[in-house]
Amino acid sequence: MQTTDSTRQRVTPLRPPYDPELALTLKRMMPPGQDPLKLFRTIAHNHNILDKLRSTGTYLLNFGKVPALDRELVIHRTCARCGCEYEWGVHAAVFGPVVGLTDAQLAATVHGSSEDPVWSEREALLIEMTDELHDTATISDPVWDALAQHYSEEQLVELLAIAGQYHAVSYFANALGVGLEDGARRFPEA
């Protein structure tokens, strides 16, 4: 997977002091005591877009109906397919270990396929779904029918939202040239 991480930062992340409304939005986006991510401070140049990103992302990460491991597989694969080392690296460092993704699985989200032996049948299906969405902007009937054996209709809609949300996040991070976060992981070597 080729990274599209730009060495040229196109929009400078905002720095404190923030106006009160923005400060509240940024605070809501981070765990207590953690500074806002560069991505959030960069998108903050447009408060309305940042707030919409916050509300959708908060729902998917905290209140969604898709199991956390499945959600993270879709996020990691989507970001990897978009060449977004920034967001992949944040999720690999923060969420991957929490949901139990191994180093081999994380590497396979970047360089593997749905046929990689690190995946269970359900996990391989999620990789296949993510690849089809990325490549064709839809899901084939065989993959959809297989997904429907594992997920409710509510969860199927959510899986699409996760992939779409993280395509958008990847577009922001890549196009704005957001620099990697301290502590984030890098794409593994092939």
pLDDT in the model for residue 5: 44
DSSP 95: T
Residue 17 has pLDDT above 80, yes or no: yes
As a whole number, mean pLDDT of residues 40-44 equals: 96
The count of structural domains within the chain is 2
C-alpha 144/C-alpha 159 separation (Å) is 11
Same domain membership, residue 102 and residue 183: yes
User: In a 10 Å sphere around its CB, with 0-12 CB exposed, 13-18 middle and 19+ buried, how is residue 111 labelled?
Assistant: middle
Tell me whether residue 179 is in a domain. Answer: yes
CATH at 128: 1.20.1290.10
Residue 87 sits in the same domain as residue 172: yes
pLDDT band at 149 (very low <50, low <70, confident <90, very high): very high
Chosen domain end from 63, 82, 98: 63
86 occurs within a structural domain: yes
**Containing domain of residue 173, as a range?**
66-190
DSSP state of 150: T
Whether residues 30 and 113 fall in one domain: no
Same domain, 71 and 160: yes
Together in a domain, 17 and 82: no
Q: What is the CA radius of gyration of the chain?
A: 16
Q: How many CA atoms lie within 13 A of 48 on its CB side?
A: 0
List the alpha helices (DSSP H) in 15-137: 20-29, 38-43, 47-58, 68-81, 85-94, 96-99, 103-111, 121-136
Residue at token pair 């593997």: 112
